[in-house]
Amino acid sequence: MLDSIEPSPRQDLDLKQISELNYIGGAPDTSALIKKEFIDFRVDEELGFPLSHDGEHLYLRIRKTGLSTVEVARRLAEASEASLSDIGYSGMKDKRGECTQWFSMPFSRTEEERLREIEDGFIEILDAERNSRKLRIGSHKKNRFEILLRQCQGRKFVFEERLDLIKASGVPNYFGSQRFGKDMSNLTQVMQLFRSEIEISASDRINVKARKKRSMLFSAARGYLFNQVLSERIQQKNWNQFVPGDVLNLAGTNRYFLVENGCWDDILQRRLDSFDIHISGPLAGVQDPREKYISNDMAARLEEAVLVKFQNLLCGLISFGLKTNRRPLRFVPENLKWNWLTPEELKLQFTLPRGAYATSLLRELCKISSFGNTGIEL
Protein backbone atom coordinates (compact mmCIF):
# COMPACT_ATOMS: atom_id res chain seq x y z
CA MET A 1 0.00 0.00 0.00
CA LEU A 2 1.26 3.49 -0.83
CA ASP A 3 0.52 4.85 2.62
CA SER A 4 2.97 2.31 4.06
CA ILE A 5 5.91 3.74 2.13
CA GLU A 6 8.00 5.83 4.48
CA PRO A 7 11.07 7.94 3.77
CA SER A 8 14.19 5.84 4.20
CA PRO A 9 17.92 6.60 4.21
CA ARG A 10 19.48 7.25 0.84
CA GLN A 11 21.06 3.80 1.09
CA ASP A 12 22.95 2.97 -2.12
CA LEU A 13 21.39 5.79 -4.14
CA ASP A 14 23.97 8.24 -5.39
CA LEU A 15 21.58 11.17 -5.69
CA LYS A 16 22.81 14.56 -6.80
CA GLN A 17 21.42 17.52 -4.93
CA ILE A 18 20.11 20.49 -6.92
CA SER A 19 23.24 22.45 -6.00
CA GLU A 20 25.40 19.80 -7.72
CA LEU A 21 23.79 20.29 -11.13
CA ASN A 22 25.73 22.34 -13.67
CA TYR A 23 25.24 26.10 -14.05
CA ILE A 24 25.33 28.05 -17.31
CA GLY A 25 27.72 30.61 -15.83
CA GLY A 26 29.56 28.37 -13.39
CA ALA A 27 28.66 28.01 -9.73
CA PRO A 28 27.99 31.49 -8.29
CA ASP A 29 30.13 32.90 -5.50
CA THR A 30 27.46 35.42 -4.54
CA SER A 31 24.73 34.67 -1.99
CA ALA A 32 21.43 35.99 -0.62
CA LEU A 33 18.53 35.18 1.69
CA ILE A 34 14.94 34.74 0.52
CA LYS A 35 11.57 34.51 2.29
CA LYS A 36 12.59 36.28 5.50
CA GLU A 37 9.11 37.84 5.41
CA PHE A 38 6.07 36.44 3.62
CA ILE A 39 5.87 39.53 1.41
CA ASP A 40 9.45 38.91 0.23
CA PHE A 41 8.13 36.17 -2.06
CA ARG A 42 5.05 37.14 -4.05
CA VAL A 43 3.43 35.04 -6.78
CA ASP A 44 0.41 35.93 -8.91
CA GLU A 45 -1.12 33.16 -11.05
CA GLU A 46 -2.57 33.95 -14.48
CA LEU A 47 -5.18 31.57 -15.87
CA GLY A 48 -4.76 30.29 -19.40
CA PHE A 49 -8.41 30.65 -20.42
CA PRO A 50 -11.40 33.03 -20.03
CA LEU A 51 -14.12 32.20 -17.50
CA SER A 52 -17.63 31.59 -18.81
CA HIS A 53 -19.29 33.53 -15.91
CA ASP A 54 -21.93 30.80 -15.80
CA GLY A 55 -22.01 27.14 -14.90
CA GLU A 56 -21.83 24.69 -12.01
CA HIS A 57 -18.44 25.71 -10.62
CA LEU A 58 -17.46 28.68 -8.49
CA TYR A 59 -13.97 30.06 -9.15
CA LEU A 60 -12.30 31.94 -6.33
CA ARG A 61 -9.20 34.08 -6.73
CA ILE A 62 -7.52 33.86 -3.36
CA ARG A 63 -4.51 35.55 -1.86
CA LYS A 64 -2.94 33.18 0.65
CA THR A 65 -0.16 34.02 3.09
CA GLY A 66 1.80 31.43 5.03
CA LEU A 67 -0.43 28.56 3.89
CA SER A 68 0.12 25.79 1.36
CA THR A 69 -2.24 25.32 -1.57
CA VAL A 70 -3.55 22.08 -0.04
CA GLU A 71 -4.22 23.79 3.29
CA VAL A 72 -6.37 26.41 1.55
CA ALA A 73 -8.20 23.71 -0.42
CA ARG A 74 -8.90 21.83 2.80
CA ARG A 75 -10.35 24.94 4.44
CA LEU A 76 -12.56 25.57 1.41
CA ALA A 77 -13.80 21.99 1.56
CA GLU A 78 -14.59 22.25 5.27
CA ALA A 79 -16.39 25.58 4.89
CA SER A 80 -18.56 24.30 2.04
CA GLU A 81 -18.97 20.76 3.39
CA ALA A 82 -17.59 19.49 0.08
CA SER A 83 -15.12 16.71 -0.51
CA LEU A 84 -11.48 17.74 -0.83
CA SER A 85 -11.48 16.09 -4.25
CA ASP A 86 -14.18 18.56 -5.35
CA ILE A 87 -11.81 21.50 -4.83
CA GLY A 88 -9.82 22.34 -7.95
CA TYR A 89 -6.58 24.28 -8.39
CA SER A 90 -4.08 24.57 -11.21
CA GLY A 91 -0.76 24.38 -9.38
CA MET A 92 0.96 24.23 -6.02
CA LYS A 93 2.19 27.56 -4.72
CA ASP A 94 4.81 28.27 -2.08
CA LYS A 95 3.71 28.13 1.54
CA ARG A 96 6.18 30.72 2.79
CA GLY A 97 5.08 33.62 0.64
CA GLU A 98 2.17 35.79 -0.43
CA CYS A 99 0.61 33.93 -3.34
CA THR A 100 -2.49 34.65 -5.40
CA GLN A 101 -4.10 31.74 -7.20
CA TRP A 102 -7.45 30.39 -8.40
CA PHE A 103 -9.50 27.63 -6.79
CA SER A 104 -12.75 26.05 -7.97
CA MET A 105 -15.56 24.27 -6.17
CA PRO A 106 -19.15 23.17 -6.86
CA PHE A 107 -21.40 26.24 -7.03
CA SER A 108 -23.96 27.05 -4.33
CA ARG A 109 -25.21 30.53 -3.45
CA THR A 110 -25.51 29.54 0.20
CA GLU A 111 -21.95 28.22 0.23
CA GLU A 112 -20.69 31.32 -1.59
CA GLU A 113 -21.94 33.48 1.28
CA ARG A 114 -20.50 31.14 3.92
CA LEU A 115 -17.09 31.11 2.25
CA ARG A 116 -16.46 34.66 3.41
CA GLU A 117 -16.16 33.20 6.90
CA ILE A 118 -12.82 31.61 6.04
CA GLU A 119 -11.21 35.00 5.40
CA ASP A 120 -8.65 35.94 8.03
CA GLY A 121 -5.12 37.27 8.06
CA PHE A 122 -3.97 34.32 5.94
CA ILE A 123 -6.74 33.98 3.34
CA GLU A 124 -8.39 36.77 1.35
CA ILE A 125 -10.96 36.20 -1.42
CA LEU A 126 -10.20 38.73 -4.16
CA ASP A 127 -12.69 37.64 -6.80
CA ALA A 128 -15.48 35.14 -7.36
CA GLU A 129 -16.72 34.00 -10.77
CA ARG A 130 -18.69 31.07 -12.12
CA ASN A 131 -17.41 28.71 -14.79
CA SER A 132 -18.65 25.65 -16.63
CA ARG A 133 -15.76 23.36 -15.71
CA LYS A 134 -13.71 22.42 -12.67
CA LEU A 135 -10.22 23.91 -12.49
CA ARG A 136 -7.66 21.26 -13.46
CA ILE A 137 -3.99 20.85 -12.65
CA GLY A 138 -1.75 22.64 -15.16
CA SER A 139 -4.47 24.88 -16.62
CA HIS A 140 -2.86 28.21 -15.73
CA LYS A 141 -0.67 30.03 -18.24
CA LYS A 142 1.92 31.99 -16.28
CA ASN A 143 3.11 33.01 -12.83
CA ARG A 144 4.26 36.54 -12.06
CA PHE A 145 6.92 36.84 -9.36
CA GLU A 146 8.19 39.64 -7.15
CA ILE A 147 11.05 38.44 -4.97
CA LEU A 148 13.17 40.38 -2.49
CA LEU A 149 16.70 39.09 -1.93
CA ARG A 150 18.09 40.17 1.43
CA GLN A 151 21.62 40.01 2.85
CA CYS A 152 23.13 39.99 -0.64
CA GLN A 153 26.80 39.09 -0.40
CA GLY A 154 29.06 39.78 -3.38
CA ARG A 155 29.79 42.58 -5.76
CA LYS A 156 26.83 44.36 -7.30
CA PHE A 157 28.21 44.11 -10.83
CA VAL A 158 28.53 40.30 -10.48
CA PHE A 159 24.83 40.01 -9.65
CA GLU A 160 23.99 42.17 -12.64
CA GLU A 161 26.31 40.28 -15.00
CA ARG A 162 24.56 37.04 -14.09
CA LEU A 163 21.14 38.67 -14.59
CA ASP A 164 22.26 39.88 -18.02
CA LEU A 165 23.38 36.32 -18.83
CA ILE A 166 19.94 35.01 -17.82
CA LYS A 167 18.31 37.57 -20.12
CA ALA A 168 20.59 36.65 -23.02
CA SER A 169 20.63 32.85 -22.65
CA GLY A 170 17.45 31.89 -20.82
CA VAL A 171 17.44 29.59 -17.79
CA PRO A 172 18.02 25.82 -17.55
CA ASN A 173 14.55 24.37 -17.06
CA TYR A 174 15.52 22.26 -14.05
CA PHE A 175 12.83 20.83 -11.83
CA GLY A 176 13.26 22.60 -8.50
CA SER A 177 13.96 21.07 -5.10
CA GLN A 178 10.22 21.24 -4.27
CA ARG A 179 9.67 18.37 -6.72
CA PHE A 180 11.91 16.01 -4.74
CA GLY A 181 10.88 16.68 -1.15
CA LYS A 182 13.00 17.42 1.89
CA ASP A 183 16.36 15.63 1.70
CA MET A 184 15.25 14.05 -1.62
CA SER A 185 12.68 11.98 0.30
CA ASN A 186 10.36 11.58 -2.70
CA LEU A 187 13.14 9.83 -4.59
CA THR A 188 13.99 7.45 -1.78
CA GLN A 189 10.29 6.62 -1.47
CA VAL A 190 9.83 5.99 -5.19
CA MET A 191 12.90 3.74 -5.18
CA GLN A 192 11.38 1.80 -2.30
CA LEU A 193 8.19 1.49 -4.33
CA PHE A 194 10.08 0.23 -7.39
CA ARG A 195 12.23 -2.23 -5.42
CA SER A 196 9.26 -3.65 -3.55
CA GLU A 197 7.25 -4.07 -6.76
CA ILE A 198 4.21 -3.05 -4.79
CA GLU A 199 0.94 -3.85 -6.50
CA ILE A 200 -1.68 -1.14 -6.23
CA SER A 201 -4.78 -2.61 -4.66
CA ALA A 202 -8.30 -1.97 -5.94
CA SER A 203 -8.95 0.41 -3.06
CA ASP A 204 -5.82 2.41 -3.89
CA ARG A 205 -6.92 2.72 -7.51
CA ILE A 206 -9.94 4.73 -6.40
CA ASN A 207 -8.30 6.42 -3.43
CA VAL A 208 -7.53 10.01 -4.41
CA LYS A 209 -4.85 10.44 -1.77
CA ALA A 210 -3.03 7.28 -2.87
CA ARG A 211 -3.22 8.22 -6.55
CA LYS A 212 -1.89 11.69 -5.89
CA LYS A 213 0.98 10.37 -3.81
CA ARG A 214 1.93 7.83 -6.47
CA SER A 215 1.78 10.52 -9.15
CA MET A 216 3.99 12.79 -7.02
CA LEU A 217 6.60 10.06 -6.61
CA PHE A 218 6.64 9.20 -10.31
CA SER A 219 6.99 12.90 -11.16
CA ALA A 220 9.99 13.13 -8.83
CA ALA A 221 11.68 10.20 -10.60
CA ARG A 222 11.08 11.64 -14.07
CA GLY A 223 12.13 15.10 -12.94
CA TYR A 224 15.37 13.77 -11.50
CA LEU A 225 16.28 11.98 -14.74
CA PHE A 226 15.43 15.04 -16.82
CA ASN A 227 17.68 17.18 -14.61
CA GLN A 228 20.61 14.81 -15.15
CA VAL A 229 20.24 14.98 -18.94
CA LEU A 230 20.02 18.77 -18.85
CA SER A 231 23.03 19.05 -16.55
CA GLU A 232 25.08 16.88 -18.92
CA ARG A 233 24.13 19.04 -21.90
CA ILE A 234 25.19 22.15 -19.99
CA GLN A 235 28.48 20.39 -19.28
CA GLN A 236 28.85 19.71 -23.02
CA LYS A 237 27.82 23.32 -23.80
CA ASN A 238 24.99 22.26 -26.10
CA TRP A 239 21.98 22.72 -23.80
CA ASN A 240 20.78 25.58 -26.02
CA GLN A 241 22.38 24.45 -29.28
CA PHE A 242 20.99 21.97 -31.82
CA VAL A 243 22.63 18.59 -32.20
CA PRO A 244 21.49 16.07 -34.84
CA GLY A 245 18.42 14.17 -33.70
CA ASP A 246 17.12 16.79 -31.26
CA VAL A 247 13.38 17.08 -30.69
CA LEU A 248 12.43 20.77 -30.80
CA ASN A 249 9.66 22.57 -28.93
CA LEU A 250 7.67 25.50 -30.26
CA ALA A 251 7.92 28.11 -27.49
CA GLY A 252 4.83 28.56 -25.35
CA THR A 253 3.15 25.37 -26.60
CA ASN A 254 3.15 21.61 -26.12
CA ARG A 255 3.99 21.13 -29.79
CA TYR A 256 7.20 19.35 -30.81
CA PHE A 257 8.90 18.60 -34.11
CA LEU A 258 11.99 16.98 -35.65
CA VAL A 259 14.37 18.32 -38.26
CA GLU A 260 15.44 15.91 -40.99
CA ASN A 261 19.14 15.11 -41.23
CA GLY A 262 21.03 17.86 -43.00
CA CYS A 263 18.08 20.29 -42.92
CA TRP A 264 19.18 22.48 -40.01
CA ASP A 265 19.68 25.94 -41.51
CA ASP A 266 20.23 29.60 -40.66
CA ILE A 267 16.49 30.24 -40.35
CA LEU A 268 16.08 27.56 -37.69
CA GLN A 269 19.22 28.79 -35.93
CA ARG A 270 17.78 32.31 -35.76
CA ARG A 271 14.53 30.93 -34.37
CA LEU A 272 16.52 29.07 -31.71
CA ASP A 273 18.60 32.15 -30.87
CA SER A 274 15.47 34.32 -30.58
CA PHE A 275 13.72 31.83 -28.23
CA ASP A 276 11.01 31.00 -30.78
CA ILE A 277 11.95 27.33 -30.47
CA HIS A 278 13.75 25.34 -27.77
CA ILE A 279 15.72 22.09 -27.51
CA SER A 280 13.81 19.51 -25.47
CA GLY A 281 14.79 16.70 -23.13
CA PRO A 282 13.15 13.40 -22.14
CA LEU A 283 10.59 12.67 -19.46
CA ALA A 284 11.38 8.98 -19.21
CA GLY A 285 8.94 6.10 -19.44
CA VAL A 286 7.41 3.68 -21.94
CA GLN A 287 7.80 4.75 -25.56
CA ASP A 288 4.47 4.84 -27.38
CA PRO A 289 4.98 3.17 -30.79
CA ARG A 290 2.71 5.83 -32.29
CA GLU A 291 4.90 8.67 -31.02
CA LYS A 292 6.40 10.59 -33.93
CA TYR A 293 8.79 12.84 -32.07
CA ILE A 294 11.54 10.63 -30.69
CA SER A 295 15.14 11.79 -30.39
CA ASN A 296 17.65 10.01 -32.60
CA ASP A 297 21.25 10.17 -33.75
CA MET A 298 23.61 12.19 -31.52
CA ALA A 299 20.80 13.54 -29.29
CA ALA A 300 19.48 10.05 -28.52
CA ARG A 301 22.97 8.74 -27.74
CA LEU A 302 23.56 11.63 -25.36
CA GLU A 303 20.26 11.03 -23.53
CA GLU A 304 20.79 7.26 -23.35
CA ALA A 305 24.33 7.67 -21.99
CA VAL A 306 22.88 9.58 -19.02
CA LEU A 307 19.74 7.50 -18.43
CA VAL A 308 21.61 4.19 -18.47
CA LYS A 309 23.30 5.24 -15.22
CA PHE A 310 19.91 5.19 -13.46
CA GLN A 311 18.49 1.83 -14.48
CA ASN A 312 16.48 1.41 -11.26
CA LEU A 313 14.55 4.62 -11.80
CA LEU A 314 14.17 4.06 -15.54
CA CYS A 315 13.00 0.46 -15.24
CA GLY A 316 10.63 1.37 -12.42
CA LEU A 317 8.92 4.03 -14.52
CA ILE A 318 8.61 1.61 -17.41
CA SER A 319 7.24 -1.18 -15.20
CA PHE A 320 4.49 1.12 -13.94
CA GLY A 321 3.58 2.13 -17.49
CA LEU A 322 4.52 5.82 -17.41
CA LYS A 323 4.38 7.21 -20.95
CA THR A 324 7.33 9.20 -22.25
CA ASN A 325 7.00 12.90 -22.83
CA ARG A 326 9.26 15.87 -23.57
CA ARG A 327 10.09 19.11 -21.76
CA PRO A 328 11.99 22.18 -23.03
CA LEU A 329 15.57 22.39 -21.76
CA ARG A 330 15.27 26.12 -21.09
CA PHE A 331 12.75 28.80 -20.24
CA VAL A 332 12.87 32.54 -20.79
CA PRO A 333 11.71 34.89 -18.03
CA GLU A 334 9.44 37.64 -19.36
CA ASN A 335 9.88 41.24 -18.26
CA LEU A 336 12.87 40.50 -16.05
CA LYS A 337 13.62 43.62 -14.01
CA TRP A 338 15.70 44.32 -10.94
CA ASN A 339 16.18 47.17 -8.54
CA TRP A 340 18.64 47.65 -5.67
CA LEU A 341 16.64 48.91 -2.68
CA THR A 342 19.78 49.05 -0.52
CA PRO A 343 23.34 47.77 -1.06
CA GLU A 344 22.21 44.41 0.40
CA GLU A 345 18.61 44.20 -0.86
CA LEU A 346 17.78 43.35 -4.47
CA LYS A 347 14.19 43.18 -5.76
CA LEU A 348 13.46 40.98 -8.78
CA GLN A 349 10.36 40.99 -10.97
CA PHE A 350 9.68 38.49 -13.75
CA THR A 351 7.04 36.22 -15.27
CA LEU A 352 7.53 32.51 -15.89
CA PRO A 353 5.60 30.02 -18.01
CA ARG A 354 3.65 27.22 -16.34
CA GLY A 355 5.96 24.48 -15.09
CA ALA A 356 9.05 26.68 -14.71
CA TYR A 357 10.60 27.10 -11.27
CA ALA A 358 11.61 30.50 -9.90
CA THR A 359 14.22 28.70 -7.80
CA SER A 360 15.89 27.48 -11.01
CA LEU A 361 16.34 31.11 -12.03
CA LEU A 362 17.55 32.15 -8.59
CA ARG A 363 20.21 29.41 -8.42
CA GLU A 364 21.82 30.83 -11.57
CA LEU A 365 22.05 34.22 -9.86
CA CYS A 366 23.49 33.34 -6.45
CA LYS A 367 23.58 30.79 -3.67
CA ILE A 368 20.22 31.04 -2.00
CA SER A 369 19.38 30.40 1.63
CA SER A 370 15.73 30.22 2.58
CA PHE A 371 14.74 31.79 5.91
CA GLY A 372 14.38 29.11 8.56
CA ASN A 373 16.84 26.75 6.86
CA THR A 374 20.39 26.67 8.15
CA GLY A 375 21.83 25.20 4.97
CA ILE A 376 21.96 26.30 1.38
CA GLU A 377 18.71 25.45 -0.33
CA LEU A 378 19.75 25.84 -3.98
Which residues are catalytically annotated?
94
Q: What is the CA radius of gyration of the chain?
A: 22
Secondary structure, 3-state, the chain: CHHHCCCCCCCCCCCCCHHHCCCCCCCCCCEEEECCCHHHEEEEEEECCCCCCCCCEEEEEEEEECCCHHHHHHHHHHHHCCCHHHCEECCCCCCCCEEEEEEEEECCHHHHHHHHHHCCCCEEEEEEEEECCCCCCCCEEEEEEEEEEEEEECCHHHHHHHHHHHHHHCEECCCCHHHCCHHHHHHHHHHHHHHHCCCCCHHHHHCHHHHHHHHHHHHHHHHHHHHHHHHHHHHCCCCCCCCCCCEEEECCCCCEEECCCCCCCHHHHHHHHCCCEEEEEEECCECCCCCCCCCCHHHHHHHHHHHHHHHHHHHHHHHCCCECEEEECEECCEEEEEEEEECCEEEEEEEEECCCCHHHHHHHHCEEEECCCCCCCC
